[in-house]
Structure formats: C-alpha cells, structure tokens
Amino acid sequence: MNIWRITLIATSDFHTAGDSKGSTVDYLRDAGDVPYIPGTHVKGVMRSEAERILRSVEDVKCWVTGDPDQENVSETNKRKILTCEQISGTRCDVYSIFGSINDGDGYIEGKIRVTDFNAVRKVVSASRMHVSIDRDYMSNRSGGLYRTRVVPRNTSFMGHIITRDLTENEEKLLWASLHSMCHYGLGGERSRGLGSFDIGSMERIDHGEFLQGGIGQ
C-alpha cells in the first residue's frame, strides 16, 4: 500500500455548496470552520476523467460512469452502466482502479481510497453576487438577487490518495486523471470560471505521517 499526500492550489475562486442562509449560499466547512472538498467529489471527477482518457486511446466498450437514467433521451439511446467484465469477463483500468457497481453482485472494490481535501488554514471568504433569470421572459427575476460565498484563489487544499497493487498502466491513468481533474475543475459554478486547480505537490509518505488524516471514499 502506498500513501500519497497531495496539495491542490486553487487557481480561481472555488465553491462547493454548503448551507443556505437567506440569500447567501455558503461553501462547505468542517467543524473547525475550515473549507474542504469531499473525497467522494474528488474521486468522482477523477473517475470521469479517467474514463474519458481511456476511451480516447483505447477501444473500450464499457460505460463505467454517467447517468443510466438520462431524461429526455429515447430508450434506445440511453447510456446504461455497462462494464468490461459484463461484456468480455475482463476489467478495464478504470474499473480496476475505481471499482464499479455490478448488478446482482454489489459493489466491486477498487484499488484506491481518497480522503477529503481540507484547506491548510482558515480563509477569508469572498463573495459573488448573482441575479436569478426568468427563463420564460429572459429577464431578471424579481427578488432574485443572491450571493455565493467562495474560497479565494491561491488557497491550498491537502488530502491523501491511498493506492494498492496498481499496475504500471493503472498508475499512469490514475495520475493522468488527477491532472485532468484539475483542468476540468472541482466544485460548482465552473461555467462562471470557478474551480480550477493546479497540483502544488505530490509526495509519498509513511503510515506515521498519515495518522493526522483518515481513509476516505
């Protein structure tokens, strides 16, 4: 088992929806009032990016991610969850790294765990004002002014990725998906320019150094 301590640095303001207080939408905070990114979110975006990368370089037939019950799509065109194991009895690298739901057999465990990524210190939040739009009349909605609180750019988040028994190709795909995730973005309101990141550092640590963290999703 390998434990990697990873620092992500926000290159734009960042927001993950937390409590709503009147016309203000706050971001997620832990018990110590420190903003964090859920490990499930990090792992989910990495998984989607890993599938996109793998499908671009290999003739992979499975759909591991995606909504199997897409609305407004004909029954014949819905993208069902379909794994390589169901098709050919083998597992693609995405399936092996991240695990999968296998109908009838329950969850198939992957080879990684991802902890929450916590800001390295408390931050002074910023705010962005928005106006709700009435889509029917293409005009401002009366009383639709609201504020989103954001974590300011240059904030550093630290978390851990724990791996076991990765093959060379799986390890390459994992780290490629991490870099691609940063470019794709995390959190909400990415279409407004929020949520882009850079990787600040990656270092392998021992179990003793990991005791301050915890095993995530």
pLDDT in tens, 33-90: 888 999 999 999 999 899 889 888 877 666 665 555 556 556 665 666 666 666 666 7
Residue 50 lies inside a defined structural domain of this protein: yes
Give the DSSP per-residue string, 128-195: EEEEEEETTTTEEEEEEEEEEEEBPTT-EEEEEEEE-S--HHHHHHHHHHHHHHHHH--SS-GGGT--
Q: Is the pTM above the cut of 0.85?
A: no
Residue 143 lies inside a defined structural domain of this protein: no
Residue 149: what pLDDT?
78
Please tell me the total count of domains within the chain.
Answer: 1
Partners of residue 161 on adjacent β-strands: 4, 114
Residue 20 lies inside a defined structural domain of this protein: no
Residue 40 lies inside a defined structural domain of this protein: yes
Residue 115 lies inside a defined structural domain of this protein: yes
Residue 70: what pLDDT?
58
**pLDDT averaged over consecutive 10-residue blocks of the chain (217 residues)?**
94 75 65 88 92 81 58 60 66 84 64 93 64 49 60 91 94 96 87 87 89 60
Residue 30: what pLDDT?
82
Using an 8 Å Cβ cutoff, are 201 and 178 in contact? Answer: no
Partners of residue 34 on adjacent β-strands: none
Residue 194 lies inside a defined structural domain of this protein: yes
Residue 161 lies inside a defined structural domain of this protein: yes
| Domain CATH code at residue 41 | 3.30.70
Partners of residue 179 on adjacent β-strands: none
Rounded distance, CA 177 to CA 117, Å?
A: 17
104 lies in which domain range?
2-14+34-122+153-210
Which DSSP state fits 14?
B
- Tokens representing 97 are 């790294």
Residue 146 lies inside a defined structural domain of this protein: no
Residue 14: what pLDDT?
85
